[in-house]
Amino acid sequence: MRTPITELLGIEHPVVQGGMMWVGRAELAAAVSEAGGLGIITALTQPTPADLVAEVERARRLTGKPLGVNLTILPTIDPPPYADYVRAIADSGVEVIETAGANPEPFMDLLKGAGLTVLHKCTSVRHALKAQRIGVDAVSIDGFECAGHPGEDDVPGLVLVPAAADALDIPFIASGGFADGRGLAAALVLGAHGVNMGTRFMCTVESPVADEVKAAIVEQGELDTVLIFRPLRNTARVAANEVSREVVRLLDEGGEFADVRELVAGSRGRTVFEQGDTEAGIWSVGMAQGLIHDVPAAGDVVRRVVRQAEDVLRAALGADPDGSGVDQQRGSALSR
Ligand SMILES: Cc1cc2nc3c(=O)[nH]c(=O)nc-3n(C[C@H](O)[C@H](O)[C@H](O)COP(=O)(O)O)c2cc1C
């Protein structure tokens, strides 16, 4: 499958593994890239820019194929040294930077000067157009279904993706709610040039999260997520558990961030991922978990997503009129 995204990123398949805090480490990113997708290491999972460079080197030992780094810039009381991370990314030898959270304009000259391809992740057509205006190479547009921050517009992919296709001149990938080949096929038909997946890649062999978290994703359905921080206009989609429900309750009753600060602490989320106690804190996961029924190797996800997309597109075009090559119930065509 060649699309403007595979051409731009120099990859074989139009499948990207989005940046994920605590999850996007060398093994996962390298496995996705090695299988022909684009794997992305998450910059801020590394405590310092020097650690990030070392993590990229670790991934480089596992694959010679294109790699990316995600840099998420969010307003915080005690911000990390973003400019130092950007310089480290520019010098690290990765081919792609995925920016998210804020406008990457202040860093564009440095990034383009270093020869990086800039992929900006956003959640609305107007932000995608802004990114296009400031010169990013491609955008990744996250629909309401996504894990993490879906924005405040609540536009699901079925509308957001074709709306972006109508508006944008640069290549773009659809993100949020994609977990199998039917999603990739749909994204392409709606006008995107590939997909970005987070939750699906979090539930793979190379993902560093505890087995209990992967088992929870397999167990949980599409209804088992919660939107927190709505009243603060900083919405995040996380797993439904006692902690996330308590955060929603406190804020709905008029509470402020200070009232939930301890509940939402990053250290608690890290405990979930490292120790496997899914009730220890809040943790990002998307509605796509309702489509996830196994814990495959990340490379197998890339390969089977592409294979199933080809199958369903062929069936839809009538080349496989009785659909016999495709079991849409559980995506079992994927494991053939
Ligand atoms: C555990 C987890 C952590 C994430 N952390 C980040 C992050 O630090 N920065 C970011 O831009 N996106 C982050 N995301 C969002 C993903 O990159 C991606 O946009 C999203 O997962 C797409 O939706 P999906 O989960 O339905 O595939 C995270 C997602 C997950 C599941």
| Nearest ligand 1 atom to alpha carbon 177 | 26
CB 255 within 8 A of CB 228: no
Ligand 1 centroid to Cα of residue 319, in Å, is 36
pLDDT at residue 327 above 80? no
pLDDT (tens digit, 9 = 90+) per residue, 188-245? 999 999 999 999 999 999 999 999 999 999 999 999 999 999 999 999 999 999 999 9
- Nearest-atom number in ligand 1 for the CA of 40 is 17
- CB of 285 within 6 A of ligand 1: the answer is yes
Rounded-to-integer distance, Cα 299 and Cα 17, Å: 11
The residue whose CA is least distant from atom 22 of ligand 1 is: 176
Q: b/e map of 165-181 (b: 16 or more CB within 10 Å)?
A: beebebbbbbbbbbbbb
Q: Measured in angstroms, how far is the CA atom of residue 201 from the centroid of ligand 1?
A: 10
Closest by CA position to 297, among listed 218, 199, 206: 206
292 lines ligand 1 (CB under 6 A): no
CA of 320 to the centre of ligand 1 (A): 35
CA of 288 to the centre of ligand 1 (A): 12
Task: Please check the confidence at residue 152 and state whether its pLDDT lies above 80.
Answer: yes
Q: Is 174 in the pocket of ligand 1 (CB under 6 A)?
A: no
What is the distance in A from the centroid of ligand 1 to the CA of 265? 17
Stretch 84-113: mean pLDDT, rounded? 96
d(CA 110, ligand 1 centre) in Å: 25
Q: Flag whether pLDDT at 172 surpasses 80.
A: yes
Instruction: Provide the pLDDT for residue 322.
Output: 57
CA of 87 to the centre of ligand 1 (A): 23
Q: To the nearest whole percent, how much of the chain has pLDDT over 70?
A: 95
Does the pLDDT of residue 331 top 60, yes or no? Answer: no
Closest C-alpha to ligand 1, atom 15: 148
More confident residue, 318 or 163: 163
Q: What is the pLDDT of residues 291-326, one digit of tens each?
A: 999 999 999 999 999 999 999 999 988 865 555 554
Q: Does the beta carbon of 19 sit less than 6 angstroms from any atom of ligand 1?
A: yes
pLDDT reported for residue 332:
36
Mean pLDDT in residue range 131-136:
98
Give the per-residue pLDDT at 76: 77
pLDDT at position 324, please? 55
Q: Is the C-beta atom of 33 inside 6 A of ligand 1?
A: no
| Contacts (Cβ under 8 Å, ≥6 apart) of 209 | 22, 23, 202, 273, 274, 276
pLDDT at residue 333 in the model:
34
| Per-residue pLDDT tens digits for 237-279 | 999 999 999 999 999 999 999 999 999 999 999 999 999 999 9
pTM of structure: 0.94
Question: How much is the pLDDT for 245?
Answer: 98
Q: What is the CATH number of domain 4-208+294-311?
A: 3.20.20.70
Cα 53 off chain centre by: 21
CB 292 within 8 A of CB 198: no
Q: How far is the CA of 198 from the centre of ligand 1 (A)?
A: 5
pLDDT of residue 318: 84
Where are the domains positioned within the chain? Answer: 4-208+294-311, 211-287
For atom 19 of ligand 1, the residue with the nearest CA is 18
